[in-house]
């Protein structure tokens, strides 16, 4: 009985997948590389372990990496600071899934800004598979590090799971407001998702980021993976997570916005 039910469920998923592919070809008016990127997200979202979870559980080392930033952050908090502290609160894209920690975009942005004379105490608080709800739960711990700036790169996993976009929006709103209340400036990183839950859901999801940026007056990177999403040479085999070269481009998307925030901070005493 259970085997028959499983087979029927799989058949329905395959049929839904075919319908989604047809919708993509007819409705998605984007460039071919970006279309390939969204198709890769769609393929992963139909697997038993949705979205980034499918690849992020591939090795024990990567699972342990998810929390690697926490002990380091705790140590840093005990040292007298002369540089502004920046927390990158995100998912596997921030954590640097599949690449070395120093090859992920937070480390690259840090190095880029240092060359411009803007040094910072950067904390990579990326956690593979994290959602906006998970980020909100982790926020209080990160705020104990007394960050001057929080970079929020969350929401992609919400979209792949079909989380009610109103919940995602409210979680992000709470993260922004709590960060502000703790004295931190905020940089919001926008994301896109494939239309496997329908064009209306996709549109409403993508509108969350500019809506919150305008409502709460926070700077926005419109699309974190601009010029990387869908470009095979800049992505790993899963078609989603950037290669080291891809992270360099992602860093260029983030760097000018973070630079402006750093320059606007009051000097350390």
Please indicate whether residue 69 is annotated as part of the active site: no
Q: Reduced to 3 states, what is the DSSP secondary structure of residue 77?
A: helix
Of these residues, 45, 92, 128, 168, which one is catalytic? 92
Of these residues, 91, 148, 241, 247, which one is catalytic? 241
Burial 198-230 (b: 16+ CB within 10 A, else e): eeebbebbbebbeebbeeeebebbebbbeebbb
Please indicate whether residue 260 is annotated as part of the active site: no
Please indicate whether residue 25 is annotated as part of the active site: no
- SS3 percent helix, strand, coil of the chain, rounded to 5, is 55, 10, 35
Which helix H or strand E contains 138, and what residues bound it?
Answer: helix 132-143
- Counted residue by residue, the chain has a size of 269
Distances (CA, A) of 75 to 66, 70, 117, 147, 165: 17, 9, 25, 14, 36
The encoded tokens of residue 26 equal 């007819």
Of these residues, 36, 53, 62, 238, which one is catalytic? 238
254: left (phi over 0), alpha (psi -120 to 50) or beta: alpha
Residues identified as active-site: 92, 238, 241
């Amino acid at each position: 009985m259970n085997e028959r039910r499983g087979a029927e469920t799989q058949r329905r998923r395959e049929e839904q997948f075919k319908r989604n592919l047809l919708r993509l070809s007819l409705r998605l008016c984007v460039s071919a590389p970006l279309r390939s990127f969204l198709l890769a997200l769609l393929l992963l979202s139909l697997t038993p372990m949705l979205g980034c979870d499918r690849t992020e559980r591939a090795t024990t080392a990567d699972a342990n990496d998810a929390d690697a930033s926490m002990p380091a952050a705790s140590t840093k908090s005990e040292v007298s600071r002369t540089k502004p502290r920046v927390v990158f609160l995100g998912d596997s894209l921030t954590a640097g899934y599949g690449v070395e920690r120093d090859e992920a975009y937070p480390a690259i942005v840090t190095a880029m800004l240092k060359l411009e004379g803007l040094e910072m105490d950067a904390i990579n608080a990326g956690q593979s598979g994290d959602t906006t709800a998970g980020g909100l739960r982790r926020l209080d711990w990160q705020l104990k590090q007394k960050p001057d700036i929080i970079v929020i790169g969350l929401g992609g996993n919400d979209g792949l799971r079909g989380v009610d976009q109103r919940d995602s929006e409210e979680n992000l709103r709470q993260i922004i407001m709590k960060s502000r209340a703790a004295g931190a400036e905020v940089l919001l990183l926008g994301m896109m998702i494939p239309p496997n839950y329908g064009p209306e859901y996709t549109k409403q999801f993508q509108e969350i980021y500019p809506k919150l940026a305008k409502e709460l007056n926070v700077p926005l990177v419109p699309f974190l993976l601009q010029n990387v999403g869908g470009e095979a040479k800049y992505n790993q085999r899963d078609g989603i997570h950037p290669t080291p070269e891809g992270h360099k481009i992602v860093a260029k998307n983030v760097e000018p916005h973070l630079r402006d925030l750093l320059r606007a901070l009051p000097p350390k005493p």
